[in-house]
Chain A
C-alpha cells in the first residue's frame, strides 16, 4: 500500500472519532500500523488482515487471549478471526483508556466465552484458567485444584445458581473490581 491510497478520508476520520473512544492521533497511528500489516499482504483498502498477521503485533503477541480477541472483534463471515480496519478500530476502542466499564466488560465477557454460547459455563472457566496459568506444565493447576477453583468462582458469581455465569452476572462482578478498568487496556 503506502502513498495516497492509504490515507484516511477526512470525513471518515471524523466519523471514526465519533464512534470510538480514540483520539485523532490514535486513529491515525492505528491506521498506519494496520496499513503496515496490510502492506505485507498487498491487499486493497478495506481488505482484511488475517489473524496470524494481527497476532504478530507486539501488543497482542504475549496475550493468552489473543486468538479469542481476534475472533470476538472479527466481522468476517469465514469465522477465521481476520480483522478489517474497522474491526481493528473497534478492538482498540474497547481496549482504550477512556472506554466505559460497560463496553469493556461486555467484550471481556465475549472474550472469555470460549464457545460463544452466551454464558460462561464450567468448560469456559476451565479454558480461561488454563489461559491464565500459561501453557507450561509446572504452572498448570491440577484437576482437583481446577475443580475447587471453578466451584468457588461459580459460588461467588453465579447469582441465579444455574451453573453458569451470564453477562449481567459477569458485569455485576466486574463492576466492583477495583482494577479491571486499569488493566483491560491495550495501547499502541
Chain B
C-alpha cells in the first residue's frame, strides 16, 4: 500500500508540472498535498519538539523562498514541489499513515466548508489564476470524477484504490479526527502567519509557535482542546475495545496537556492554568468521593451475592430493606439526639418528680423481667416514653427548650418521611420514563427478559421455564384474544372468591375488635390476675392473623384463574387491605381505651385535689406560708397518662410483630428446610420435590410486612420516642437473619418477577401507609388534651400550644404579631386556594404534555415508516438509473476493462458523497443520491443507507458480462 501511494504522489507531481494550467487537476492535487502535509503535521503533533523544530525550519525556508521569488504562480509551484518532497519522505517513513491521508482528503473537503478561511487563503496563494472557479468544491469534485472517467491513466486508478480502501476505518475514526484536523488547520495557519512575518519569525520561533496566534485562532484552539476534553469524558461510553480507547485517551490527553500549557501563554494565562489545575483536582476528588461512597454502602456484597443467586426481585427486597434502614437511621438520629439524650442528660433525674418515679404499688414488681418485657415498671418510667418528660420550658445550662423540641421532632419525623418517599417516587417515575406502552410486547420478552445477574443454575432453570411459559401465553393470547366459553363460570368463581375474601377481612376485623375490648376488660380488672396469653392476646391475634390470612387468600385466589401478574396484584391488594383493616381496628379500639383513660383521669384529678387538701389539712392546718410537706414522689397519686399507654401498645405491637416474623422464619423456613433435607432419605415420598419442599422467598409479603411495620413506627413515634431505635435494631437483625435464611434454606421462586416494575408500586403503598398512619397521630395531637400530670405538654390545653408559648416568650413581640396576622384565616384560606389552583394547573399541564408526547411518538413512528418506504423506493430507482447510465457509458467506450474501472469508481464516489451529504445535510450532488440522503430518520441506521451501494455494485458486476456481450 505505501508503495502504491508513493507512486501516485510522484505521478501527481509530474502531472502537475505538465498541466499546471488545468485548474481541476491542480486544484485536486493541491488538496492532496494539503492532506499529505497534514499527515506530516499530525505526526508532528505527536512529539511536540520535533514538530516545532520542523515548523520552524519550514517557515524559515518558506520565508527565504519568498524573498527570492516574485511571481505568485511560480512561488506556488515551488512550494508544491517542496511539499511533495516532504510528503514523499513521509510516505517512505510512515507507510501506514497513508491510509490516514486518504481519510484526510475527505476531511479536507469537509474542512473547506467549515474553515474556508484558512484553506482558501492558501489556495488563493497557490492558484491565483483560477480564482473564480474554485469557489465550489463540489463542482471540482464532479469534474474530477469526469476526468477520471475519461482518462484511464494508471496514477488515477491507484488513487481510486486508495479511496476504496479504508471505508470503515474512516468512518470509525471520524469522530476523533475532527478535533485533530481542526487543530492541524491551526498549525497550518499558524505556520503561515509565521512565514508572513518574514525575518522576525527566525527569532520568534524559539519563543514558541503559539506566541503569534491571533485571538480568534486561540479561541479555535481552545475549542479543539475543549473538544478533546469532551472526548475524554465520553470515551467510556464508546463501544470500542479497550486497546483503542487507551490509545485515543493517551493521544488526546497528550494533546490537551500540550495545548493547555501553550494556551496559557497569552492573556490571563495564570487564571487559565489555575482553572485547569483546579478542574483536574476536582475531577480526581470527585472520583475519590465516588469510590468512597460505593465503599460505604453497607451490605453491598451480601446483596450482590443474593442477587446473583436469586435474581433481581429478591435482591430488590433487600435493597428496600436497606433503604428503610437508612430512613430509620435518620429518624433515630432525630429522636435520640434531640429528645432522649437532652432529657437524660439535662432533665431532672429519675425519682425527682412523680412522673419520673415508679408508683409505690408497682415498685415490688418493677424490675421483674415479665414486666420489663411488657415495657412496664422501670421501662415505662424512663426516657423511652412520653410520660417521663417534664413540662419545664427550658432545661439544663443550654436552656434547651424540651417541649418545643419534642413537638418539632414529632412533626419533623413525619415531614422528613413524606419528603423522602415522594422524592424517591419521583425519581423512580423518571427512571421508568413511559415504559408503559405495550407496543413492543414480544420484542421486550425476547430482548430483555433474561436477568443477567442470575448466577445459580437452579434459578436459571426456573427462569428458562418462566420465559417459555410467558412466550407461550403471549402467543396464545395473540392467536385468540379471548375465549368466552367459560366466562360465566369464571365470573361466578371470581365473585365467590371476592366474597370469601371479604368475609375473611370482616372476620379478622371483628376478631381484633373483640380481643381489644376483652383486653380492656382485663386491664380494668387488673392484669396481674391473668396469664401471659391474656396480657398479649391482642398482639398475638394480630400477628397470627397476619400470618395465616395471606395463606388463605392464596388458596382462594386459585379459584379466580387470573394471570399470575394480575393474581399477584390482587393478592397484594388483599393483604394490604387486611393489614390496614387490622391496624385501623386496633387504632379504633385504642381510641376507646383513650376515652376510658380520660374518664379515669378526671376522677383522679378530683381525687387529687381532695388528697392535697387532706394532706395540708392533716399536717399543717391554716398555714399557707409554711413549707409544703415533702411527700415521696412515689406516693403521689397520678393519672393514667393515656399517651404512655398508647406508646406502650405500639412498642408491644412492634416487639410481638418482630418476634413472629423471626419465629416464622426459623420454623417455616429453617426447620422445614432441615426436615426436608434430612428426612428425605427415610420418607415414603420425595420431600424435596413433593409436598413440603423448600420454601420460596416471598418478596411481596415481606415488603408488605416491612411497610406496615414502618407505618406503626410513624404512628407511635410521637408517644414513644424509642420506637425508631427499636425499629433500627429490628431491621439490622432482619438484614442478617433474612440474608442467612435466604441463602441457606430458600429456593428461587418459580415465578421470577422483575423488580423494577414493582418498585414504585411498593413506594406508593408506603406513601399511602404513611398518610394513613399520620392521620390518627395528628388527630390525637390536635383534638385530645394532653394528660395533666405527665409528658412535656402537661398543663396545656392542647399539645400544639407549645408553639404559641414559644412565640410569645422567646421571640420579639413584633414576630408574634406578624405570625398572628399570617395565621389569620383571611390569609390562610386564599393561600390554600392558591395552592389548590396551582396543583390543578400543574396537573392539567402535565396531562397535556403527556398527551402531546404520545402524539409525537406516534407521529415519529409513522414518519419513520414513511421515510423508510421512500428510501427503499429511491434506492431502487437509483439502482435502475445507475444501470442505465452504465449502459450508456458502455456504448461510448469499447473496452470492458475500462468500464469496470469506471463503474467501480463511480460507485465509490457515490459512497463518498453519501457520507459527505450525511454530514453537510444540504449537500445534494446528483439525482441518484438525492432521495437517500434527504432527511435521515433517527431510527434508520447507517446500515440501511449503506446497503444500496453494495447491492448496486453487486447487481452491476453480475450484469456486466451479459451487458458487454449484448
| Chain A contact residues, CB within 8 Å of chain B | 15, 17-21, 23-25, 58-65, 75, 86-87, 89-90, 93-95, 99-100, 102-103, 106-108, 112, 118-119, 125, 128-129, 132-134, 136, 139-141, 145, 148-149, 152-153, 155-157, 159-162, 166-170, 172-174, 176-180, 182-187
Contacts and interface: CB of A to CB of B under 8 A. Distances in A.
A22 to B, nearest CB: 9
Interface string B856-887: 00000100110011011000000000000000
A145 B239 contact: no
Given A129-B471, A160-B868, A183-B754, A20 B308 contact: no
A134 B312 contact: no
A19 B232 CA distance: 8
B312 A182 contact: yes
Contacts of A184: 448, 452
B113 interface: no
A107 B239 contact: yes
Interface in B437-485: 437, 439-444, 446-457, 459-461, 464-465, 467-468, 471-472, 474-475, 478-479
Given A63-B454, A149-B475, A153-B443, A134 B755 contact: no
Contact of A156 (B435, B440, B459): B440
Contacts of B142: none
A65 B290 CA distance: 31
A183 B453 contact: yes
A19 B235 contact: yes
Contacts of B307: 187
12 contacts: A23-B291, A25-B294, A62-B454, A62-B457, A89-B242, A118-B943, A145-B471, A148-B475, A149-B446, A174-B447, A176-B435, A187-B307
B442 A156 contact: yes
B434 A61 contact: no
Given A149-B471, A160-B868, A185-B452, A90 B242 contact: yes
Given A148-B478, A176-B440, A63 B452 contact: yes
B919 interface: no
Nearest to A95: B452
B464 A134 contact: yes
A23 B237 contact: no
A161 B103 CA distance: 34
Interface in B562-612: none
Given A64-B450, A182-B755, A19 B439 contact: no
Contact of B432 (A108, A134, A159, A178): A178
A47 B290 CA distance: 31
Contact of A186 (B446, B453, B467): B453
Given A134-B461, A159-B864, A168 B446 contact: no
Contacts of A61: 455, 457
B558 interface: no
A170 B246 CA distance: 28
Given A176-B437, A177-B444, 13 more contacts: A15-B250, A18-B235, A63-B452, A86-B243, A90-B242, A140-B468, A141-B468, A161-B869, A172-B939, A173-B440, A178-B435, A183-B452, A186-B453
Contact of B465 (A15, A63, A139, A179): A139
B756 A182 contact: yes
The main secondary structure of chain A at its interface with chain B is helix
B453 A86 contact: no
Interface string B670-681: 000000000000
B941 interface: yes
B614 interface: no
A176 B287 CA distance: 30
A40 to B, nearest CB: 20
B245 interface: yes
A153 B448 CA distance: 13
B452 A133 contact: no
A103 B236 CA distance: 9
Nearest to A152: B442
A167 B448 CA distance: 15
Given A107-B239, A179-B754, A187-B304, A168 B940 contact: yes
A112 B475 CA distance: 21
B236 A19 contact: yes
Contacts of B246: 15, 19, 86
Contacts of A106: 239
A136 to B, nearest CB: 8
Contacts of B455: 58-63
A24 B453 CA distance: 21
Interface in B699-751: none
B830 interface: no
B454 to A, nearest CB: 6
Nearest to A141: B471
A133 B471 contact: yes
B437 to A, nearest CB: 7
Contact of A103 (B237, B249, B308, B475): B237
A183 B451 contact: yes
Given A18-B232, A183-B450, A160 B242 contact: no
A88 B864 CA distance: 38
Contacts of B326: none
Contacts of B290: 23
A153 B242 contact: no
Nearest to B755: A182
Contacts of A167: 941, 943
B939 A168 contact: yes
A67 B440 CA distance: 27
A19 to B, nearest CB: 5
Contacts of A90: 241-242
A45 B474 CA distance: 50
